[in-house]
Structure 1
Amino acid sequence: MTDIGKIDRDFFDEHVYPYLGAEREDELLGPKHGVDFGVIDIGDHVVALATDPLSLLPELGFEKAGWFAFHVVMSDVAVSGLQPSHLAVEFNLPPEITDEEFAAVWKTFDREAKKLDVSIVTGHTARYSGCQYPWVGGATTLAVGKKENLVRPDGARPGDRVLVTKGPGVETAGFLVTLFEDRIDLPADDIEDAKDRFYDMSPVEDALVAADAGGVTAMHDATECGIHGALVEMARSAGVRFDVRHDDVPVLPGVLEACEFFDIDPWASTTEGTLVLTVEADAAETVLAAFDDADIPAAEMGKVSEGDGVYVDGDRIEHPDVDPSLQVFAELSADRE
C-alpha cells in the first residue's frame, strides 16, 4: 500500500479483489482498480453507484468547502453517462464545528443537489470525539437510467478518439493556491488566475454534456495522479493502446505557474474537474461542439488503437502511482500547525 493516497493496483489485487462478498447476478459492473463506479442491473434500467470520502477544509470557508465536497462525491457516478439522481451522505464531525458552520455546508449541498435534480435520501450526522478535519465522513451517489445510456469505464475501442476537458493541474492550482495563498510567492495576476480555477474543479457538467451529445464510449475523471493516471487506467481497463499528444491539450491560466511553484508535474497531479473520455471517431466533432456551446474548454488529444499502454508524444508512460500534490498538501498543512 502507498504511504499516502489511494491503494495501488497490487494491493487491490491481493487484499481487496478476492474478498468481495456474495456473487449476485444483478451485479453488472463490480470493483476494479482505477474504475470510478459500480453498476446494478434492474431490468430495463441500471443503477450506477460510487462511494467517496467527505472532506471539509474550514480554511476554504464552509460554503466553498461544501461545494467542493459535494462535487467530489458526484464526479465518479457522473462519468457513468447517467444523470446523478440520489445521494446518501454521512458526516462524522469534529466537536468544534458550530451549528452555523455545518448549516453553511448543508445549505450548499441542498443548493447544488437541486441544480442537478439529486434527492438526498438518507444519511447520518453527528459530532464525535476523535474526528478531525478534513476527513469528516463519506457519501454514496446513485444514478438511475436506461441500460443503453450507460457509459462503461472499460468501453474504449480501437478507432475511438481521446478527448480531454480543461487540461492538467486544475485542482492542484485551484485548490492549493486558494488554500495556501499566504504562502505563494507568485505575481498577483498568477495567483488570481490559479484561484479562478477553484470552481472549475467539477467534471459533472462535462460528463453530462458529453453523454448528451452521444458517441461516448468511456469516461474517467482525472483525480489522483492526474491525466496520466486517468489515461493509463482507461487504456488498461479496456485492453487497448492510447497514443496522445500534450501540445493539443488546453491548459488553463494559472495552472503551469502554480505547478512550477510547487515543483509538481501537472500531468501526474490531481486535477478534479478534468474529464478524459473516448468517443467514436465520427462523434468527436459533435462532442467538442457541445463542449464549446457549454463554454467548457476541450480538445482531441489522440486516438485509440489495438495493443496496450499509453504513449505520450511517442514515448510510453506508466501510472504515476503517487500523486505529487498530496505530499505538498501534507507539508504545507504541517507547517501551518
Structure 2
Amino acid sequence: MSDLGKIDRAFFERHVAPNLGADRDDVAVGPTHGVDFGVLDIGGRALVTATDPLSILPALGLERAARFALDLVLADVAVSGVAPSHLSICFTLPEGMADDEFATVWETIHAECVDLGVSVVTGHTARYADVSHPWVGAATAMGVGDHDEIVRPDGARPGDLLLLTNGPAVESVGLLSTLFGDQLALPDDVIADAQDRLEEVFSVRDALTAAAAGPVRAMHDVTEGGLAGALNEMADGAGVRFAVDRAAVPMRPGVREVCDALAIDPWAATSCGSLLLAVDSTGVDTVRTALAARDTPVAEIGRVEATAGDGEVLVDGDRLEHPTVDPSWAAYATLTDESDP
C-alpha cells in the first residue's frame, strides 16, 4: 500500500474486496477499485451513492474551499448520470475553527445544495482535539434514478470515442500555485494562469450536462492518479483498449510550467474538475456542443477498441501504466515543509 493517497489495487483486492459485510441481493454495484459510486436496488429504483472525505483549505477562501469540498463529494454520484439529490455530512472540526468561519462554510454548502437541488438529510458536527485542516470530516451523497439511466463505469464499448474536459492536473496546479505561488520560481503571469485553474475544479454540472446530451457510455472524474489512472481504470473495467493521441490531450494555461517546476507528471496528478468520457460516436457532437455552451473546454483524445483479456491504454501506440502514487501529494508535503518557519 502506498504511503500517501488511496490504497492500491493489490491491497484492495486482497483485504477489502473479500470483506464487505453481509451479502445482499439489493447491491447492484458494490465497491470496486477505481469505481466512483455504488448502486442499491430499492423497489426497482436505483439509489446511487458515494462517500468522500471533506477537505477545507482556508487559504483558498472559506467559500471557495467549501464549494470545492462539496463538489468533490457530489461529483462521484453525478458521473453516474443520476443527479445527486441527498447528502449526509459529518464535520470533525479543528478546535481553532471559529464559529463564524464554520458558519461561512455551512452557509456556502447550503447555497450550493439549493442550487443543485440537494437536500441535507442527516449529519454530525463537533470539534475535536488533534484535528487539523484540511481533513475535517466526510460526506455521503445520494441520487435516485432508473437503473437504465445509469452511466456505468465499465460501460465503454469498442467504437466509442474518448472525450476529456479541461485537461490533466488542473486541480493540482490550481491548488499548489494558489497555496504556494510565492515559492515557485515562475513569472507572475504564469502563476496567475495557474491559479485560474481553480475555477475549473467543479464538475457536477458538467457531468450531468454530458449525460443528458449523450449517449455517454462511461464517465470518470479525473481525481487521484490523474488522467493516466482514469484511463486505465475505465479501460480495465470494460475490458477494452483505449487508443489515445497524446497531442490531442489539452493542457490548460499554467499547467505545464507548474508541473515542470515541481517535477510532476501532469498525467499522473489529480485533476478534480476534469471528466473522462466514453461516448457513442453518434453523440460526440451533441455532448461537445452541450459542454461548450457551459464554456467547458472539451477535446476528443482517442477511441475505444476491442481487446482480448484485461483492458489496456495505448498512448501513441505505447502502453500507459496506472501510476503507483499521485505526485501531487509529495509536492504538497514538500512545499508545506518549505513554507514552515
TM-score by length of 2: 0.97
Cα displacement (A) at 1:292? 1.4
In the aligned structure 2, how far is the partner of 1:84 from the partner of 1:246?
A: 33
1:312 to 312, 315, 324: 315
The CA distance in 1 between the partners of 2:213 and 2:64, in whole Å, is: 30
CA distance in 1, matches of 2:68, 2:181: 18
Say which is worse superposed, 284-293 or 13-22, in terms of deviation: 284-293
Aligned equivalents of 2:128, 2:44: Cα separation in 1: 43
Residue in structure 2 matched with residue 326 of structure 1 by the alignment:
329
The whole-number CA distance in structure 2 between the counterparts of 1:161 and 1:43 is 34
User: Structure 2 CA distance, aligned partners of 1:105 and 1:250?
Assistant: 33
Counterparts of 1:114 and 1:152 in 2: how far apart (Å)?
Answer: 27
Q: CA deviation at 1:131?
A: 1.3
CA contact (8 A) 1:216 1:278 kept: yes
Q: Which amino acid aligns with 2:336?
A: S
Structure 2 unpaired stretches of 5+: none
> Moved runs in structure 1, 4+ residues, more than 4 A?
none
> Does structure 2 retain, via aligned residues, the 8 Å contact 1:249–1:298?
no
Aligned pairs for 1:122-161 (under 5 A) are 122-161=122-161
Does the alignment pair 1:170 with 2:173?
A: no
Shift, 1:336, TM fit: 2.6
Q: 2:194 aligns to what?
A: 194
CA contact under 8 A between 1:94 and 1:127: conserved in structure 2?
yes
Q: CA deviation at 1:44?
A: 3.9
- Determine helix, strand or coil for the equivalent of 2:47: strand
Please show how residues 170-249 of structure 1 align to structure 2 within 5 Å: 170-249=170-249
1:294, 1:65 → 2: CA distance?
Answer: 22
Task: Determine the C-alpha separation between the residues in 2 that align with 1:249 and 1:335.
Answer: 32
Is 1:269 matched with 2:272? no
The answer for unaligned runs of 5 or more in structure 1 is: none
User: Whole-Å Cα distance in 2 between the matches of residues 207 and 88 of structure 1?
Assistant: 21
Query: 1:90 — aligned with what?
Result: 90
Residue 25 of structure 1: aligned partner: 25
Q: CA deviation at 1:250?
A: 2.2
Between the two proteins, the alignment pairs up a number of residues equal to 337
1:279 is matched by which residue type in structure 2?
Answer: V
Whole-angstrom CA distance in 2 between matches of 1:228 and 1:128: 37
Q: Distance in 2 between matches of 1:272 and 1:157?
A: 24
1:10 corresponds to 2:10: yes
Deviation at 1:115, TM superposition (A): 1.4
Matched with 2:72 is 72
Deviations 1:44-102 (A, max 9, x none): 42111000001111222212221211111111111010111011100001111000110
RMSD: 1.0
Letter in 1 for 2:320: I
My pick for the range that moved more, 269-278 or 144-153, is 144-153
| Alignment partner, residue 256 of structure 1 | 256
Between 1:150-159 and 1:59-68, the stretch displaced more is 59-68
Give the superposition deviation at 1:281.
1.4
Shift of 1:305: 1.1
Q: CA deviation at 1:293?
A: 1.6
Q: Is the 8 A contact 1:165 1:297 kept in 2?
A: yes
Give the drift of 1:288. 1.1
Which letter does structure 2 place at the counterpart of 1:173?
V
For 1:71 and 1:19, the matched residues in 2 are separated by 29
- Bigger mean CA deviation after superposition, 279-288 or 11-20: 279-288
Structure 2 equivalent of residue 335 of structure 1? 338
**How far does residue 207 in structure 1 lie from its aligned partner after superposition?**
0.6
Q: Is the 8 A contact 1:215 1:280 kept in 2?
A: yes
Moved more, 245-254 or 316-325: 245-254
Aligned amino acid, residue 210 of structure 2: A
User: How far, CA to CA, are the matches of 1:233 and 1:72 in structure 2?
Assistant: 18
Alpha-carbon distance in structure 1 between the residues aligned to 2:244 and 2:203: 21
Aligned-residue sequence identity (percent) comes to 54
Code of the aligned partner of 1:93:
L
Q: Deviations over 1:82-133 (max 9, x none)?
A: 1110111000011110001101111110111111111111100000112111
Separation in 2, partners of 1:329, 1:208: 31
How far is 1:271 from its partner? Answer: 0.6
Cα distance between partner residues in 2 of 1:191 and 1:336:
17
